[in-house]
Amino acid sequence: MLYKDFPRLQLGSGREIAPVRVAWAQYGAPPARARKIHLLLHGITSSPQAFLGDPEPALDAGWFQAWADGVFDLDRDCILAPNALGSCFGSSAPQGAGTAEFPVFTIVDTVAFYAQWLRWLGVPALDGVIGYSYGGYQAFQWALAPPVPTEKAVVLASAPKGNGSDADVLALSGLAAKLDRNDADAWQAWRSQRLDTLRRYGHADWLAARGGPVEPALETAADLWTAEFSPWSLACLRRAAVHFDVRDPLRGKVDGVPILWMVNRGDKLFPTNDLAASSRARIQRATVQGRFGHSSPMLEPELWMPTVRRFLCTA
Mean pLDDT of 225-245: 94
Helix/strand/coil (H/E/C) assignment for every residue in the chain? CEEEEECCEECCCCCEECCEEEEEEEEECCHHHCCCEEEEECCCCCCCCCCCCCCCCCCCCCCCCHHHHHCCCCCCCEEEEECCCCCCCCCCCCCCCCHHHCCCCCHHHHHHHHHHHHHHHCCCCECEEEEECHHHHHHHHHHHCCCCCECCEEEECCCCECCCCHHHHHHHHHHHHHHHCCCHHHHHHHHHHHHHHHHHCCHHHHHHHHCCCHHHHHHHHHHHHHHHCCHHHHHHHHHHHHCCECHHHHHCCCCCCCEEEEEECCCCCCCCCCCCCCCCCCEEEEEECCCCHHHHHHHCHHHCHHHHHHHHHCC
- pLDDT score for 255: 87
**Res 314: pLDDT:** 82
pTM of the predicted model as reported, rounded to 2 decimal places: 0.95
Q: In this structure, are residues 89 and 220 in contact, taking their beta carbons and an 8 Å threshold?
A: no
Quote the pLDDT of residue 28. 94
Return the pLDDT at 167: 95
**pLDDT surpasses 90 at 43:** yes
Find the length of the chain. Answer: 315
Domain ranges of the chain: 2-160+244-313, 166-237
| Amino acid letter for position 146 | P
**pLDDT, average across residues 11-25:** 96
pLDDT digits (tens, 9 = 90+) for 132-149: 999 999 999 999 999 999
| Chain segment 294-313, per-residue pLDDT in tens | 999 999 999 999 999 999 98
pLDDT at position 278 is 76
Task: Render the burial of 87-111: b for 16+ CB within 10 Å, e for the rest.
Answer: bbbbbbbbeeebbeebbbbbbbbbb
Just give the CATH number of 2-160+244-313: 3.40.50.1820
| Rounded (5°) CA angle 305-309-314 | 155
pLDDT at residue 263 in the model: 98
